[in-house]
Amino acid sequence: MRLLTFSRRNSDAPLIGMRVAGRILELAAAARIAGLPVPPQRMKDLLAAGPDALAGARRLLAAAETDAARFASAWLNASEIRYLPPVPDADKFLCVGKNYRKHLEELKRTNLIREIPQEPTSFIKLNSCLVGHNAEVARPEGIVRLDYEPELVFVIGKRALGVKKKDAFDYVAGVTILNDLTCRDLQQREVASGSRFWTGKNIPGFGPLGPELVTLDEIRDPYDLWMTCSVNGEERMRVNTCDQIWKLPDIIEHFSRFIPIEPGDMFSTGAPGGVAVGKANAAELFLKPGDVVECGMEGVMTLRTTIIAP
């Protein structure tokens, strides 16, 4: 199932939908047509409502596909919506860093890391920086080293506290993509100063996320996925998730030891090797106004972002 958060073109109100090919079923509208209680209208609340709520959504989708005429007003074309981040208001969005072997080599060469971590590490991605699929993101005035980082994101489906590795995937609702846009200008200074806040990753717009949440039952193996990134149609990277050092079971066990992880919370699992900063011709590859960036989970989904002038 492909779940998304969106708004209609003439409204800012967030809605939950399910995508089938190029059409989106608005969940609340479908429930009203079916004479059923309206489901939660925030993704994290829908996930928190548990398996019964998701099963109900699947039944609504099946009914709407079977009786298209009756549910016509609940169906939308992709051109009629504005994509929002699948989970725009997570309590916690933890980004695991230094998690791909090839990317670690790049960071060492460019002095963007001081040491190799011995356990999963993370920084916080702020909700205020998140935007959805097809968003336009302004490169701030004076910033010239804007980099792309396609990342596999796991969305948590139920409360996790003290979870062991063997049970980790029982707590995952699905996956999505983050383009962890990074201002290398600021990151270099923050590394030098010892700062852990990563301002260069939390500028408004620097968190394209989406386009949707794909439930885990549709992912054959999350550790045999090809993460890709292209700029203006030119492929810049293609790396398999098997290159990750800390897999999802390691990550959940580590971070849920003392802190409860709630439905809708997210773990981004790090940037693969191949980012601009690691290339000899990095100056030519950093993102510029007019660039169209596509981050993909090959065969599953693609997240598109356009860089614009401030």
Structure confidence at residue 40 as a pLDDT band (50, 70, 90)? very high
Does residue 186 share a domain with residue 113?
Answer: yes
Q: What is the pLDDT of residue 271?
A: 87
Query: Which CATH number do you get for residue 67?
Result: 2.30.30.230
Q: Is the pLDDT of residue 100 over 90?
A: no
Q: Is residue 204 one of the residues assigned to a domain?
A: yes
Q: How many angstroms separate the CA atoms of 264 and 289, rounded?
A: 32
**What are the E-state strand segments in the chain?**
2-8, 15-20, 23-26, 75-77, 81-83, 93-96, 122-124, 130-131, 135-138, 146-147, 150-156, 172-179, 182-183, 207-215, 226-231, 234-240, 266-268, 292-297, 301-308
Mean predicted lDDT score pLDDT of the chain = 93
DSSP 3-state assignment of 26? strand
Structure tokens at 60: 């609504």
- Give the mean model confidence (pLDDT) for residues 116-126: 85
Does residue 234 share a domain with residue 188?
Answer: yes
Q: Is residue 88 one of the residues assigned to a domain?
A: no
Q: How many domains does the chain have?
A: 2
- Give the mean model confidence (pLDDT) for residues 44-63: 96
| Residue 5 CB partners (closer than 8 Å, separation 6+) | 14, 15, 16, 17, 42, 43, 83, 84, 85, 86, 87, 88, 132
Q: Is the pLDDT of residue 114 over 70?
A: no
Tell me how far apart the terminal alpha carbons of the chain are, to the nearest angstrom.
37
pLDDT tens digits along 143-163:
999 999 999 999 999 999 999
What pTM value is reported for the model?
Answer: 0.93
- Give the mean model confidence (pLDDT) for residues 288-296: 98
- For the ranges 16-30, 77-91, 113-127, 250-264, which has the lowest average pLDDT? 113-127
Structure tokens at 19: 């995508």
Q: What is the pLDDT of residue 135?
A: 98
Structure confidence at residue 120 as a pLDDT band (50, 70, 90)? confident
What does DSSP assign to residue 47?
Answer: H
Does residue 71 share a domain with residue 215?
Answer: no
Query: How many C-beta atoms lie closer than 10 Å to residue 69's C-beta?
Result: 5
Q: Is the pLDDT of residue 101 over 80?
A: no
DSSP 3-state assignment of 62? helix
Does residue 117 share a domain with residue 8?
Answer: no
Query: How many C-beta atoms lie closer than 10 Å to residue 9's C-beta?
Result: 10
Does residue 201 share a domain with residue 180?
Answer: yes
218: left (phi over 0), alpha (psi -120 to 50) or beta: alpha
Structure tokens at 68: 């298209």
Does residue 161 share a domain with residue 296?
Answer: yes
Q: What is the pLDDT of residue 194?
A: 73
Whole domain around residue 11: which residue ranges?
Answer: 2-83
Regarding beta strands 2-8 and 15-20, do their DSSP bridges make them parallel or antiparallel, or are they unpaired? antiparallel
Structure tokens at 48: 């928190």
Structure tokens at 132: 């959805």
Tokens 């993909």 found at: 296
Q: Distance from CA of residue 282 to its chain's centroid?
A: 25
Structure tokens at 11: 């409204």
